[in-house]
C-alpha cells in the first residue's frame, strides 16, 4: 500500500475480503483475532474489486501461492483462473 502502514497476517488468518462503498470505495479484509483492515482505494494503486478477487483467490488456493514469488506469474495465474 502506498503511504500507509503495512498489514501482516498469515493466509490462515484472512477471512472475508470485500469492497465497501460505491463512492470512495474501501477494501475490507477480516483478519482472525483483529479488527478488520480497511484500506482506502487510493492507497492501493489498483481497482479494489480486483485486489479483493486476487486476495480471495490466493486465500482459497494455497497450492497456487508459489506463483506469488513472481508478480507476473501471479497475475497470469489469477487471470487464467478468474476469466469467464
Say if 4 falls within a structural domain: no
How many folded domains does the chain comprise?
1
Name the residue range of residue 54's domain.
Answer: 11-82
pLDDT the model gives residue 55? 93
Do the domain assignments include residue 1? no
Q: Where are the beta strands (DSSP E) in the chain?
A: 14-20, 26-31, 37-40
Query: Which regions of the chain are under pLDDT 70?
Result: 1-4, 84
Closest CA to 10 of 43, 39, 37, 32: 32
**Distance from C-alpha of 24 to C-alpha of 4, rounded to nearest angstrom:** 17
Long-range contacts of 25-30 (CB under 8 A, 24+ apart): 25/49, 27/51, 27/52, 29/55
Judge whether 45 lies within some domain: yes
Q: What is the pLDDT of residue 4?
A: 63
pLDDT confidence of residue 63: 95
pTM above threshold 0.75: yes
In a domain, 6, yes or no: no
pLDDT (0 to 100) of residue 3: 53
Q: What is the pLDDT of residue 43?
A: 86
pLDDT on residue 56 = 94
Closest among 7, 45, 62, 3 to 29, alpha carbons compared: 7
Domain-located, residue 3: no
Amino acid at each position: 500500500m502506498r503511504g500507509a502502514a503495512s498489514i501482516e497476517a498469515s493466509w490462515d488468518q484472512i477471512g472475508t475480503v470485500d469492497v465497501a462503498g460505491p463512492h470512495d470505495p474501501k477494501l475490507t479484509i477480516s483478519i482472525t483475532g483483529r479488527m478488520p483492515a480497511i484500506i482506502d482505494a487510493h492507497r492501493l494503486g489498483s481497482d479494489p474489486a480486483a485486489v479483493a478477487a486476487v486476495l480471495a483467490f490466493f486465500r482459497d488456493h494455497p497450492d497456487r501461492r508459489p506463483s506469488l514469488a513472481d508478480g507476473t506469474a501471479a497475475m497470469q495465474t489469477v487471470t487464467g483462473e478468474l476469466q469467464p
